[in-house]
Amino acid sequence: MALRVTTSLKKPGVFVVAPVGSIDTTSHAILGEKVDAVLAQQPDLVIFDLEHTDYINSMGIRVLVKTKKALQARNAKLVFINLQPPIRKVFDILNALPSLQVFASVAELDAYLDAMQTAAGGTPRSTP
């Protein structure tokens, strides 16, 4: 499924970013552009609603980390809601990884994330 991303203003300073589909090597730029537009509005809080996100790889995680850093620089917050089991598993893994966890390549990291999402009931995606 091609990635679609909607953004909305929940109340002044609070934005919801809702990706629908897979956030991967070919689609992460779509999410990045939408997030950049939200960040340009100087939000106090960005909510990622991942209810309809069925897959995320390292490129998608990179967009989320970049968003978190941009918000932290302004003392703003980032939260995630409605994580589906495969996405939640990725977040659990990333939180549990030792700070010195090393992967040989992005492809190796993506293969690891694919395996974890498959184990959580998701559908693996191969990186193009």
Q: For the chain, give every domain's residue range.
A: 4-119
Please tell me the predicted confidence (pLDDT) of residue 16: 93
Q: Each residue of 14-67: pLDDT tens digit?
A: 999 999 999 999 999 999 999 999 999 999 999 999 999 999 998 999 999 999
Q: How far is CA 55 from CA 11, 48, 66, 89, in A?
A: 28, 14, 18, 11
Please tell me the predicted confidence (pLDDT) of residue 64: 92
Tokens of 17: 């970013």
Please tell me the predicted confidence (pLDDT) of residue 109: 63
Residues 18 and 49: beta-carbon distance below 8 Å: yes
Q: Each residue of 97-115: pLDDT tens digit?
A: 544 444 556 677 677 767 7
Which one of 3.40.190.10, 3.65.10.10, 3.30.750.24, 2.40.70.10 gives the CATH number of domain 4-119? 3.30.750.24
Distance, in Å, from the CA atom of 16 to the CA atom of 20, rounded to the nearest integer, reads: 13
Please tell me the predicted confidence (pLDDT) of residue 128: 47
Contacts of 44 (CB under 8 A, 6+ apart): 13, 14, 76, 77
